[in-house]
Structure 1
Amino acid sequence: MNPIKIAVIILVNFILQVTVLNNLSIGSTVPNTSLIIVVALSLIAGKRSGAVAGLVSGLLQDVMFSGVIGINTLGLFSVGLLVGSLDQKVFKENLFLPFVLTLSATVFMYFVQFFFLYFLKIEVSFIDLILGDMIKELIYNGAITVFIYKAMLSSYKEPSVKFTRGL
């Protein structure tokens, strides 16, 4: 996928996540559209694009929202690499796969955050983390994953018929 297109997607998503999606929160939970986009890009465009998108998105989130640089960067980068390794092995039009992978990636991100904070000796209750935020974010991410994935898949598809000049 074109690097400029990826950069625009990440930037537009970040702006929407900071402005519009904060007003659409349920409780104090907003969907992690950066995670959904990293999963979608990884499935559609491969490991390299997914890892770069995860690195940039995670760094943006860490700089703007997190007191600790690296939590989201490490998690989203890892998600991009792991999901991107499935690129050539899956049927990309299957809408169930990005749904399941987004839910799995959401759980993975919470475990990464918990362990990162635990090793930094920052007091976090695992039960509160799981019951408080993760379940709500799982529902929210799952509800919008298919719509984001379909939009990204349709924008990525190349025409199946290519015309060339005859010799």
Structure 2
Amino acid sequence: MKVAILFLVAFISLILESTVFNEFTLLKIKPDLLLIYVSLFALQKGSKKGASFGFGIGLLEDLFMAKFIGMNALVKAIVGFGIGFLEKRIYKENFLVPIIMVMVGTIIAGFGFYILSLILGIPISINHFKVIVLPMLLYNILLTPIIKFVFFKTNIRRY
């Protein structure tokens, strides 16, 4: 039941990301709600659960939206593991910590997608960070406090 509720929230985030946030773009970029969700979850639950959750959420996103199955799963698992690794080493209750962790997660995800694209031979511009990652970073930072309040307070702490 616990896992079902977490994935239901992720599925709702996926639907919001692919519908509502298509209309509310920032510099033609939409936020990555699932990346924010994985970052907040990993910050609370640690590296193993963060990596597993990131992989599952990324795979869900791959199945519904991506051309290449596994890219989002791998990148979000790495983000979940990396942020979860810091879980016991930082003071999580500070208001800025989740925002900083989402920043770190967004940058890691940007590098991850860039490297995977190069490995797979997918053409990607060197301006990838300036055109895509930086606006997404700004958007994710702006949405993190709202998502933290909604998802974190209602779901993550229970599980």
- Structure 1 residues 105-114 or 145-154, which shifts more? 145-154
- Contact 1:6–1:53 (Cα < 8 Å) also in 2: no
In the alignment of these two chains, the number of paired residues is: 157
- 1:53-79 Cα offsets, whole Å, 9 max, x none, are 211221122222222222211110111
The match for 2:151 is 152
CA distance in structure 1 between the aligned counterparts of 2:152 and 2:61, rounded to whole angstroms: 24
Among all aligned residue pairs of Structure 1 and Structure 2, give the percentage whose two residues are the same amino acid.
26
Tell me, in whole angstroms, the C-alpha distance in 2 between the residues paired with 1:153 and 1:33. Answer: 13
Aligned partners of 1:118, 1:2: CA distance in 2, in Å? 37
TM-score normalized by structure 1? 0.84
Q: Does 1:45 align with 2:45?
A: yes
The correspondence of residues 93-104 of structure 1 with structure 2, limited to 5 A, is 93-104=93-104
Cα distance in 2, alignment partners of residues 62 and 96 from structure 1 = 30
Unaligned runs of 5+ in 1: 159-167
Contact 2:57 2:73 in 1 (8 A): yes
Map of 1:1-167 to 2, 5 A cutoff?
A: 2-127=2-127, 129-155=128-154, 156-157=156-157
SS at match of 1:126: coil
**Aligned-pair CA distance for 1:12:** 1.6
Q: Which has the larger radius of gyration?
A: 1
Contact 2:58–2:72 under 8 Å retained in 1: yes
Provide the rounded CA distance (Å) in 1 between the counterparts of 2:137 and 2:19: 21
Q: Are the equivalent residues in 1 in contact too, given 2:43–2:87 (CA < 8 A)?
A: yes
- Tell me the distance in 1 between the aligned counterparts of 2:52 and 2:22: 25
Structure 1 residues 85, 2: closer, same or farther in 2, change over 3 A?
Answer: farther
Q: List runs of 5+ in structure 2 lacking aligned partners.
A: none
Return 42-51 or 103-112, whichever deviates more: 42-51
Aligned-pair CA distance for 1:52: 2.5
Separation of aligned partners in 2, 1:70 and 1:153: 26
Provide the C-alpha distance between the structure 2 equivalents of 1:157 and 1:109, rounded to a whole number of angstroms: 25
TM-score (norm 2): 0.88
- The structural deviation recorded for 1:42 is 0.7
Alpha-carbon distance, 1:35 to partner: 0.4
Query: Which residue number corresponds to residue 162 of structure 1?
Result: none
| Secondary structure in 2 matching 1:89 | coil
What is the rounded CA distance, in whole Å, between the counterparts of 1:69 and 1:152 in structure 2? 26
The answer to whether the Cα contact below 8 Å between 1:24 and 1:30 also exists between their aligned partners in 2 is yes
